[in-house]
Amino acid sequence: MFKDYVEGTSKRLKAIEKSNVLAVSVALEGAMGMPGQVVIAESFPDRIDFIEFYDYNKLFQVIPWFSEVTDWLGGMADNYDPEWTFIYLGFGNNLFVRNDVFAVIKDDIDPEAEVGWLYNNWYQILTNRFVSK
């Protein structure tokens, strides 16, 4: 499910087109779970690749277009592109979702769910909604 791209493979990450990205998850350095992790959900007609790397401080270098989505790298995101929805996943974990994608998945998100539920399930929600079975 996950493709891990490390140093030296950033050309692949830079080649990711903004229009193919459904969501980007960013975990701060002190986040619960995987601190510093960035996960990019890249959509293809038959699959979604969840591409991860572990240095959120290099986010804008690795994915230059993400600076168009937000100029934020810490705290709560309150300055971001209106074409994207910001979701705080709890415990220092954050998710940016394209608005057209959010419109499709919003009914799958339980506002009453305990903190951390969406952190553990957003991958599966995207896969269920955007990958043909």
Per-residue model confidence as pLDDT tens digits over 20-76: 999 999 988 888 888 889 999 999 988 999 988 888 778 888 888 888 888 776 655
Burial class (CB in 10 A: 0-12, 13-18, 19+), 53: buried
Residues 6+ apart with CB under 8 A from 75: none
Question: Which amino acid is present at 54?
Answer: Y
- Check if the beta carbon of residue 69 is closer than 8 Å to that of residue 96: yes
> pTM of the entire structure?
0.86
Query: Residue 2: is its pLDDT beyond 60?
Result: no
Can you give the pLDDT at residue 133?
62
Can you give the pLDDT at residue 80?
78
For 78-113, the pLDDT digits (tens) are 677 889 998 989 888 999 999 999 999 999 998 788
Average model confidence (pLDDT) across the chain: 84
What is the C-alpha to C-alpha distance for residues 117 and 33, in angstroms, rounded to an integer? 12
